[in-house]
Amino acid sequence: MSDILLVSFALVLALVGLKRWSRARLPFPPGPSGYPIVGNLFNIPSELQCEKYFEWSKKYNSDIIYLSVLGSPIVVLNSYKAVNDLLSARSSLYSDRPVSLMLNELLGWGRLLSFSPYGQVWRTRRRAFWQEFNPQRAYNHRPRQLRHSRDLLRRLLEEPKRFLHHIDYTLSASIISTVYGLDVKHEHDPNVEHAEKTLVQFREAAIPGNFIVDHLPFLKHMPSWMPGAGFKAYAERVRPDTATMREAPFKQGFDLLLEGKGKPSLISRSLARGGYSIDSHPDQELIEDVAWAAYVGGAETTHIVLTTFIAAMLLHPEVQRKGQEELDSYLGSRLPVFEDLPHLSYVYAIMLESLRWQSVTPIGVAHRLTTDDEYNGYLIPKGTTIFINVWALLRDDERHPDPDTFDPERFSINGKVNPNTLDSNPNFGFGRRICPGRFFAMDSLSIYIASILFCFDITKAKDVQGREIEPDIRHATGVSRPIMPFECSIEPRSAQAVTLIHDSELA
C-alpha cells in the first residue's frame, strides 16, 4: 500500500513539474520590443494610452498585449472575450490589486476598497458595502437623490453658465449626505472643497508610471531632501489631505449620532447593526473605510457621466428632442420621480448611452495575477499587472455598431430597454471586482438626466454678436477622463418649467 502511495505521489510531482516546464516554454503574449533592463518603459505613451494599446492590439492581431517595465510584467486586455475569459471565468486568480507604493502607501490610499488586496479584509469590507448599496436597498437613498436632483435644477436655473461646477458640487453634496448624514452648505462646504482638492492629488498619483518609486520600490527609503526624492516630499505634504478626507466627515457624522442629532445614513445604519452601542461599536474602522469608499466613488465618477450627457445633448439635439417628447407625454406637468423611470425607456437608454459613449476610466483599475496562468497558448506570469482597455471595449463595433455615434437606440428592443444591457457596462469593472455601487450610480444618473431634460433645453452658446459658438468637446487625460470645460446654453423650456423648479421640495 505504501508503495502505491509513493508511486502516486511521485506521479503527482512529475505532472506538476511537467506542467511548470511546459508553461516555462510558452511564449509571452505579443507586444512591442523593449530595451535591456528598462523593457517597455519608453514605449508607454504619457497620454492616450488606451488608443495606443488598441492600435497595438490590431498591429499584433491579438486581443492581449504584453509589456514589461523594469522587469514587471504588464498585460492589457482589449476585448470583451479576453476580459470575460480571465477576469470573470478565472476571477479567483485575477481579483488581486497591484500595490502602488506612491498611491497606497506614501499617500495613504491603501485602505480604499478599490485598491485593497484580495483577501479576507477586502471581502469583509465589500460585503458591508454591498449591504448598503445592493438593488434591494435602493429605496434608502432615493429621497436624498431626488432632493439633490431638484437642487441641481435650481442651481442651473439661477446660474446656467456654471453648470460644470453645479454638477460636481451637487453630486458631492448628495453622496456626503447619503453616506454621513451631513447637511452641506450651499457653497464653499469644507468637506466638498477638501474632497475636490484631494481627488486631484489622487488622479495624479493613480496614473501608471507617473512616479518612479512605483517601479523602484527601494527609493521609498530615501530621505525627502535628497536629489531625486521629490516624490517623497510631495507625499509628505499631501498625505494628511487623504487622511482628512477619510476621517473628517466620518467623525462629524459619528458625533452627531452620539448627540442624538444624526440623520439616517450609511454610517447610522451600519453602526446600528449587531446590537452594539454607537460609541463602542467594534467595527468603527471598517465602517469608516466603507463610507470612504462610497464617498470617493460617488464624488469621482458619476459627475463625468453627467457632463458627458450634457455634451451629448449639445451635439445631438435630435436625441434631446426625442427624450423630451417621451417625458412630456408621460409626465404632463410635473417633475419626474423614481417611480416614473420604468416608463421612460428612451430616457433610460440615454443614461446607458452616456455611460457607454465615453469611458470614465479608459484603462480601468489594474488587477494582479496571483499565479502563473496560460491563455490562448501564451504564458501570463504570476504577479502580472492586468489592465482592461475600457476605451477599446466601448468601441467594439460588433457589440456597439458605429461606436463613435451617440445612439441610445442601441439599448432598445421594440421600444423597451434591452434587459441584457442593464448590468454590463465595462466602466463598472468585471468579475469579483465589479463596482458594488453601480446600481446607486445608475439611479442617480437616471433621475438627474430625466429632470434636466424635462426642464431645460441644452443648445449652443452664443457670442456677444449673437453668433453660435461651435462646441469644443475635449477630454482630459489620466486615470479618469473628465470632459474639459466647454460652453453651452442651458435655458428653461417654458414658464411652467420655471414654476415647477421654484415650487419643488428641497426638504
Indicate whether 36 pLDDT > 50.
Answer: yes
Residue 422 confidence (pLDDT): 64
pTM given for the model: 0.90
H-only helix segments in 259-357: 266-272, 284-300, 302-315, 317-331, 345-357
Neighbours of 480 (CB within 10 A): 19
Q: What is the pLDDT of residue 18?
A: 41
Tens of pLDDT along 455-466?
999 999 998 888
Element (H, E) at 200: helix 190-206
Give 153's Cβ-side CA count (13 Å radius).
Answer: 31
Residue 32 DSSP SS3: coil
Spatial CA neighbour of 185 closest among 293, 193, 197, 144: 193
User: From CA 411, how far away is CA 407, in angstroms rounded?
Assistant: 8
Question: In whole angstroms, what is the distance from residue 272 CA to residue 281 CA?
Answer: 9
pLDDT tens digit sequence for 251-304:
999 999 999 999 999 999 999 887 778 888 889 999 999 999 999 887 777 889
Reported for 125-129, long-range contacts at CB under 8 A and 24+ positions apart, including other chains, are 125/286, 125/289, 125/290, 125/293, 126/436, 128/270, 128/283, 128/286, 128/287, 128/290, 129/290, 129/293, 129/294, 129/436, 129/437
pLDDT above 70 coverage of the chain, percent = 93
- Nearest CA among 181, 185, 175, 193 for reference residue 253: 181
| Grid cell listed for 503 | 415650487
Cα–Cα distances (Å) from 456 to 160, 336, 367, 448, 493, in that order, read 10, 13, 41, 12, 5
User: Cα 468 to chain center, whole Å?
Assistant: 34
* All domains in the chain, ordered by first residue: 1-94+381-393 (no CATH), 302-359+395-507 (1.10.630.10)
How confident is the model at residue 504, as a pLDDT?
Answer: 86
Tell me the pairing of strands 373-375 and 378-380. antiparallel
Burial of 266 (0-12, 13-18, 19+ CB in 10 A): buried
Neighbours of 399 (CB within 10 A): 15
The mean pLDDT value for 90-99 works out to 94
Residue 151: per-residue pLDDT: 96
CA distance 269 to 64: 43
Is residue 278 within 8 Å of 254, Cβ to Cβ?
yes
| Helix (H), strand (E) at residue 125 | helix 120-133
Q: How confident is the model at residue 6 (pLDDT cuts 50, 70, 90)?
A: very low
Residue 207 scores a pLDDT above 90: no
Number of neighbouring beta carbons within 10 Å of residue 227: 6
Mean pLDDT of 74-78: 97
Q: Which of 7-16, 447-456, 464-473 has the lowest mean pLDDT?
A: 7-16
Over range 161-167, report the average pLDDT.
Answer: 95
Q: Looking at residue 27, what DSSP letter applies?
A: P
